[in-house]
């Protein structure tokens, strides 16, 4: 009997040891490359729109930009939650230029309503931060527009929003579009631009739909930058790194995500650290003229041939136009 306990204790010790080594290795790797935004740029007089600012990275970006004096519009789906966060930001920064507006990026009707009201009420948009995001649900889910939920939330909603607001962004130049993607855009087995809504292939799971949507974020950035050539609008994509936020435990039933969440909790960046590359692309003077790049840790980072494929970027753009039913008056490139 005592023998069994010693073996179990030994196995437990080995597992704890391995977990410790994994955490230390991951932490070392993350902090080795980490760089923070060292720009002290003021954002006084600038109007900034951040999608998904009610939690995590978006909240931290909204707080930082409010601290720099920007007027910050937090475009969020849960008004009660977002209003509490806005109040917190107003208190901690002393800024009264923070406001919440309703936007559900997974609903094209909500995006159109929000964007058209924005155009009516605002005279400029200096920085558009496309941040809202989810990891897909455990089973294939379609929205009211018949879009796959993850693709709708992470890509289609931002695609449509940017198109509708693009003329205002151009008129406000020098201006910027910052697209929050993920390094996961590099792991996209089975990506098919003719099947962005996952109607033809089997739904392998939330990981795949998330990665496909994050590839679309990068390809969208590339194609938009191409259309913005000759303008004074900077447009770049980024990965914030592994950051312990609500994204890991919002979706019940996705066990693997919660396990990754535990690892990220011990080894990942803090939210303030994770927000640095987003803030950098929104404010740093040296990024005013960069276009179509992918960033990690506040510097340009190489990516895959697939994410650099301009033919694929054009195809995804055209398919997205079709799927969100982009209208003539919403096209400004
Ligand atoms: N955390 C990481 O390790 C990591 C790594 C790579 C990339 N990213 C990217 O970073 C971005 C921010 O994620 P996070 O980690 O900060 O996650 P988070 O804490 O869960 O925050 C996500 C934000 O997006 C909002 N949101 C989700 N669905 C929305 C919808 N349909 N309409 C409007 N807003 C919506 C959420 O609103 P509610 O508060 O109402 O839920 C929340 O404000 C995402 O694009 C994610 O893909 C994160």
Domain count within the chain: 2
Domain that holds residue 3: 1-33
Question: Cβ neighbours of residue 91 under 8 Å, at least 6 residues apart?
Answer: none
Separation of CA 258 from chain center = 19
Residues 235 and 128 in one domain: yes
Residues 21 and 78 in one domain: no
Active site positions, annotated: 210
Q: How far is the centre of ligand 1, averaged over its atoms, from the C-alpha of 4 (Å)? A: 46
Confidence of residue 264 (pLDDT cuts 50, 70, 90): confident
* Region for residue 38 given its phi and psi (left: phi exceeds 0; alpha: psi -120 to 50; beta: otherwise): alpha
Residues 289 and 213 in one domain: yes
Helix axes 157-171, 310-324, angle to 10 degrees: 100
pLDDT at 126: 98
Q: Is the CB of 284 under 6 A from ligand 1?
A: no
Q: Where does residue 209 rank: exposed (0-12), middle (13-18), buried (19+ CB within 10 A)?
A: buried
Residues 7 and 155 in one domain: no
Residues 293 and 173 in one domain: yes
Q: Is the CB of 180 under 6 A from ligand 1?
A: yes
Query: Mean pLDDT, the chain, as a whole number?
Result: 94
- Region 119-148 average pLDDT: 96
Q: How far is the centre of ligand 1, averaged over its atoms, from the C-alpha of 211 (Å)? A: 14
Question: CA–CA separation, 196 vs 147, rounded Å?
Answer: 9
Question: CA–CA separation, 213 vs 19, rounded Å?
Answer: 31
Name which residue sits closest to atom 32 of ligand 1, judged by CA.
Answer: 104
Confidence of residue 237 (pLDDT cuts 50, 70, 90): very high
Asked if residue 321 has a cis previous peptide bond (ω within 30° of 0), the answer is: no
* For the CA of 105, the nearest atom of ligand 1: 32
Please tell me which residue, 139 or 221, carries the higher pLDDT value. 221
Report helix, strand or coil for 192.
coil
Q: How far is the centre of ligand 1, averaged over its atoms, from the C-alpha of 145 (Å)? A: 21
Place of tokens 């697939």: 306
Question: Cβ neighbours of residue 48 under 8 Å, at least 6 residues apart?
Answer: 62, 65, 70, 71, 72, 73, 126, 127, 128, 129, 282
Q: How far is the centre of ligand 1, averaged over its atoms, from the C-alpha of 54 (Å)? A: 9
Residue 142 has pLDDT above 80, yes or no: yes
- Region 302-324 average pLDDT: 98
Please tell me which residue, 157 or 190, carries the higher pLDDT value. 157
Residue 144 has pLDDT above 90, yes or no: yes
Residue 1 has pLDDT above 70, yes or no: no
Residues 163 and 223 in one domain: yes
CATH of the domain at 43: 3.40.50.720
Positive or negative, the CA dihedral 294, 295, 296, 301 is positive
What is the chain's percent helix, strand, coil content, to nearest 5? 50, 15, 35
Ligand 1 binding pocket mutation candidate from 30, 50, 56 (most atoms within 8 A of CB): 56
Residues 15 and 120 in one domain: no
Positive or negative, the CA dihedral 117, 119, 122, 125 is positive
Question: CA–CA separation, 12 vs 9, rounded Å?
Answer: 5
Report the range of poorest mean pLDDT among 97-111, 117-131, 249-263: 249-263
pLDDT at 183: 96
Residues 28 and 48 in one domain: no
Question: CA–CA separation, 191 vs 151, rounded Å?
Answer: 12
Residues 202 and 58 in one domain: yes
Nearest to 65 by CA among 20, 1, 122, 128: 128
Q: Is the CB of 135 under 6 A from ligand 1?
A: no
Residues 83 and 187 in one domain: yes
Give the whole-number percent of the chain exceeding pLDDT 70: 99
What would the pLDDT profile of 175-201 be if each residue is shown by its tens digit?
999 999 999 999 998 999 999 999 999
Residues 42 and 26 in one domain: no
- Region 42-66 average pLDDT: 98
* C-alpha distance from residue 125 to each of 26, 40, 49, 92, 233 (Å): 38, 20, 7, 24, 11
Does the model's pTM come out above 0.85?
yes
Residues 23 and 64 in one domain: no
Question: CA–CA separation, 221 vs 290, rounded Å?
Answer: 12
Ligand 1 binding pocket mutation candidate from 34, 50, 52 (most atoms within 8 A of CB): 52
Residue 57 has pLDDT above 90, yes or no: yes
What would the pLDDT profile of 273-298 be if each residue is shown by its tens digit?
999 999 999 999 999 999 999 999 99
Residue 253 has pLDDT above 80, yes or no: no
Please tell me which residue, 33 or 129, carries the higher pLDDT value. 129
DSSP letter (8 states) at residue 214: H
Nearest to 195 by CA among 184, 204, 183, 186: 204
pLDDT at 305: 97
Question: CA–CA separation, 239 vs 296, rounded Å?
Answer: 5
Name which residue sits closest to atom 42 of ligand 1, judged by CA.
Answer: 52
Q: How far is the centre of ligand 1, averaged over its atoms, from the C-alpha of 96 (Å)? A: 24
Q: Is the CB of 77 under 6 A from ligand 1?
A: yes
């Amino acid at each position: 009997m005592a023998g069994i306990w010693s073996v179990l204790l030994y196995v437990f010790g080995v597992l704890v040891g391995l977990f410790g080594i994994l955490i230390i290795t991951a932490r070392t790797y993350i902090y080795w490359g980490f760089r923070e935004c060292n720009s002290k740029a003021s954002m006084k007089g600038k109007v900034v729109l951040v999608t998904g600012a009610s939690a995590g990275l978006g909240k931290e970006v909204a707080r930082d930009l409010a601290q720099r004096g920007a007027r910050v519009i937090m475009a969020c789906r849960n008004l009660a939650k977002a209003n509490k966060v806005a109040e917190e930001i107003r208190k901690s920064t002393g800024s009264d230029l923070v406001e919440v507006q309703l936007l559900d990026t997974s609903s094209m009707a909500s995006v159109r309503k929000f964007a058209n009201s924005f155009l009516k009420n605002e005279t400029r948009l200096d920085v558009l931060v496309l941040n809202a995001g989810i990891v897909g649900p455990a089973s294939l889910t379609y929205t009211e527009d018949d879009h796959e939920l993850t693709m709708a939330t992470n890509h289609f909603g931002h695609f449509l929003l940017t198109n509708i607001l693009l003329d205002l962004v151009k008129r406000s130049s020098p201006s910027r579009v910052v697209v929050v993607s993920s390094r996961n855009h590099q792991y996209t087995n089975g990506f098919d631009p003719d099947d962005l809504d996952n109607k033809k292939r089997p739904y392998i799971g939330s990981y795949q739909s998330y990665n496909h949507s994050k590839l679309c974020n990068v390809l969208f950035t590339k194609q938009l930058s191409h259309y913005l050539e000759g303008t004074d609008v900077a447009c770049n994509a980024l990965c914030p790194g592994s950051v312990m936020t609500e994204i890991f435990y919002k979706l019940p039933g996705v066990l693997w995500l919660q396990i990754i969440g535990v690892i990220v909790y011990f080894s990942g960046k803090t939210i303030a650290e994770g927000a640095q590359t987003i803030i950098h692309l929104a404010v740093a003077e040296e990024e005013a003229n960069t276009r179509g790049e992918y960033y990690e840790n506040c510097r340009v980072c190489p990516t895959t041939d697939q994410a650099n494929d301009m033919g694929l970027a054009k195809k995804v753009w055209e398919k997205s136009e079709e799927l969100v039913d982009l209208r003539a008056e919403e096209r400004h490139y």
